[in-house]
A and B are shown apart, each in its own frame.
Chain A
């Protein structure tokens, strides 16, 4: 339900832009994106901060850290490989791949730092990663096991894709999936910012 609402909102914005909006420029819209991005980041971080539980971290910590390391390294490798795509470059490719499924953050952040094209790729690639996880988790669970396959979903494993992971993988992997999602969600703003600021 949630992804449909979010993609519907993006499409509604795209549709409205085709109407003649007197005086409204892409700069005005970008300013609004920046303000809403701040509000969104604050709300999500309060929610994540409130969900951090010492007991859960100490019991699943090691496995969750291994999973998170795999997720980051995998995304980083793919970002490096896609830097060969001329329209992306190293900066755009890494900023998109290190979004790790968090498309509501990655799209606006990359658009604000690089431009509309990179922002669109940042949004779409992370959105496709979420969709792909919904479809592929059951298949990968049989091949790689329920725990390693959590890495497919990146940051989304604490909310949207947690539904399919807990339905298919069971309670065994549910808490681990949530903690993995929290760790990745904590890392994404830092890693994407790092890619956008350090790489020329």
Chain B
């Protein structure tokens, strides 16, 4: 599954560049939003169908995720600040 995802991603980048080179204008925002919604709906269904696992893990998953998300954001900003020589621009 993972190599296929990467292959599709790389093909898509080249298709996008080719379309840009041919000066074809398009807007994929709506299509992307629709497919992303369908994807997350199905993911919700997939997670929900494993109810026993879900009930067992959800409290821990929520706490860990909140901490992981916020810490990743803050650490990234701090590392960038240091890499850029503490410039406050």
Chain A residues in contact with chain B, CB under 8 A?
Answer: 2, 5-18, 21, 24-26, 29-30, 32-34, 36-52, 63, 66-67, 69-75, 77-79, 81-82, 85, 87-88, 93, 96-97, 100-101, 104, 107-109, 111-113, 115-117, 119-121, 123-129, 131-133, 136, 140, 143-154, 186, 189-190, 193, 196-197
Contact = CB atoms under 8 A, between A and B. Distances in A.
A140 to B, nearest CB: 6
Contacts of A39: 35
A11 B44 contact: yes
Contacts of B69: 124-129, 131-132
B12 A38 contact: no
Contacts of B74: 74, 136, 152
B87 A145 contact: yes
Interface of B: 1-6, 8-17, 19-20, 26, 28-29, 31-33, 35-51, 53-54, 57-58, 60-62, 64-84, 87-89
A49 B72 contact: no
Given A6-B37, A50-B17, A152-B73, 8 more contacts: A49-B13, A52-B17, A73-B79, A78-B71, A120-B65, A128-B69, A131-B69, A145-B89
A111 B8 contact: no
A44 B49 CA distance: 28
Nearest to A113: B2
A9 B74 CA distance: 28
